[in-house]
Amino acid sequence: AAGVIQSPRHLIKEKRETATLKCYPIPRHDTVYWYQQGPGQDPQFLISFYEKMQSDKGSIPDRFSAQQFSDYHSELNMSSLELGDSALYFCASSLTPGQGAKNEQFFGPGTRLTVL
């Protein structure tokens, strides 16, 4: 079965540079979530989108922005990168309930961002 696709899988950037992470949800899934997991930490929710509109916002820095496109893929844009942004970034997708969904989120393999 198709899974959530994230690209790139690994990314190395310098401080103050920008980065763009991409997420391709499971086909027919209309909701996308972004999580950040720092070294030795648990995943922390950043932001989510439903039908191309922001649906919820967590601890996302103002330097970060995200959007969901008409094909439901999503991009997380990160500017003025800091050393502390080094982390695993996970994207998850889910299906609107009422379509046989169990409300679970399916997670992608993650993008490992290293800021030097």
Residues that bind another protein (CB under 8 A): 4, 31, 33, 35, 42-45, 48, 50, 55-56, 58, 88, 90, 92, 94, 96-97, 101-110
Q: Which residues contact 92 (CB under 8 A, 6 or more apart)?
A: 4, 32, 33, 35, 105, 106, 107, 108
Number of H helices, E strands in the chain: 0, 11
Phi first, then psi, for residue 61 (nearest 5°) are -65, 155
Name the minimum Å distance from CB 45 to another protein: 4
Question: Which residue number, 49 or 78, has a Cβ lying nearer to another protein?
Answer: 49
User: Which residue, 9, 3, 5, 2, is CA-closest to 88?
Assistant: 9
CB of 91 to another protein, least distance (A): 8
Min CB(84)–another protein separation in Å: 18
Q: Please, which residue, 59 or 70, has the CB nearer to another protein?
A: 59
